Amino acid sequence: MKTFVLPIVIVLFVVTTILSLPSFLPQKETATLSDKALREKALKGGMTPVPKTWEAMLKAVDNPKNPVTREKVSLGQQLFFDPVLSKDRTVSCATCHKLEEGGDDNLPTAIGIKGQANPHHLNSPTVLNAALAKAQFWDGRAKDVEEQAGGPIQVPFEMGMTPKGVEERLNADAGYVAQFQQVFGEGNITFEKVRDAIGAYERTLLTRSAYDRFLEGDDNAISPAAKRGMTLFLTKGCKGCHTGMSVGGQSIQKFPLRRYFGDYVGLLFEPDVKLKNSPFPFPNEGGFLGKDDRLRFRVPILRNITKTAPYFHNGAVDKLEEAVRIMSKYQLGNEFTKEQIDDVVAFLNTLEGSVVGY
C-alpha cells in the first residue's frame, strides 16, 4: 500500500491546485463604465475626494474632544519632528513616518531607539490620511490619532519614554512651556496635551491626487488603464473593505478570508518551514496574528500605497503587483490576470498625492 501513497499525493496536488485556482473558474466580464458612471459609483459608495480648504478639512476630521486650531497644529508639528520625545533623543515620530516617503519608513519592520526592531516584526502604517480611519494600528486597538500618538512614545523598543518622563522633560523647557500655555492655557504640560497636539497635526496630513481631481469631474485626470483598474476595484469587491475618503481604514477584517486545498497539499513539498507554519500566503515573520490572535487586521489605507512598500503587516511582500494578486485570490476568491493586476496598479498610482497645505 505504501507504494501508492506518493502517486496519490501527486495526483491530489495537481487536481486540487487546478481546482483551487480562480482563473480556471468561469468569470464574468468586467463591466465597462463611462467616466460619469464610474465617478458616480465611487461617490455613491462613500469614496469622496479629500477637501481643498481648511474649513472643509475640519468638517471631515475635526475632533470635538480635541478641536483643531492652527496654533495647536503648529505645536503638534514641532513635537512630531522633535526627538526630545524619545528616551535617548534619537527618534521622533517622523523617524518612522517620513511624510515625503508616503508617511511610513519603507522598512519591513519599525526600528526604534538603540536600533531595536519591533519584536513582532510589524510594518509601520502610514500616518498620511490616518485621521480618516476609524481605528489605528494593525489590530485597531487605538480609536483615534490622539490615542495612537501616545503609543510609540511609551513602547520600550520604539521611543522608550514614560508619560511622567515626557512631562518632566518638556516642563523643563521654557520654550515648550510658553507654547503649550498659548495653546492650552495656563498649567503644566501633561502627556494628554502632548498627544492632543500631535493628533491635531496628524489630522491635517491629508493628501490629494489625480484620483481626487477625477472624482471632482476632471475626466482627463487619470488614464484609460487607471479607469479600467478603478472599474475592477469598484465591481470586483475591493471597495467592500477599501472604502471611504481614505480608501481604507474603515473596518477590521479577517485576512486571509480564503485558503485553498491546493495550498495545503503544496506545503507537503514546501522546503520553506516559515511558509509551512504561516496562516498567510507568505512567511509570518514575527508571529503576529492580528486582533485577539484571530487573523483580524485593520484594513490598510490605500492612498499613497505606491510609496509604502513593503506590504502587509510584516512587510513580507515587496511588490505592489504581488500584493494585489494575493488580495484578489485570498480575499476576493477571484485571482486577477496579469492585465487586470496592471490596471489595478495603474488605478492605485492615481492615489499617490501630496499633503494639502491647509
CA proximity to 35, closest of 208, 216, 207: 216
Region label for 109, one of left (φ > 0), alpha (ψ between -120 and 50) or beta (otherwise): beta
Q: What are phi and psi of 287, to 5 degrees?
A: 70, 10
Amino acid at 348: L
Q: Which residues of 306-324 are buried (b: 16+ CB within 10 A; e: fewer)?
A: ebbbbbbbbbbbeebbebb
Q: Which of 146, 158, 167, 202 is catalytic?
A: 158
Confirm whether 158 is a catalytic residue. yes
Q: Which residues of 135-167 are buried (b: 16+ CB within 10 A; e: fewer)?
A: bbbbbbebebbbebbbebbeeebbbbbeeeebb
Q: Which residues of 53-64 are buried (b: 16+ CB within 10 A; e: fewer)?
A: eeeebbeebebe
Q: Catalytic residues, which ones? A: 158
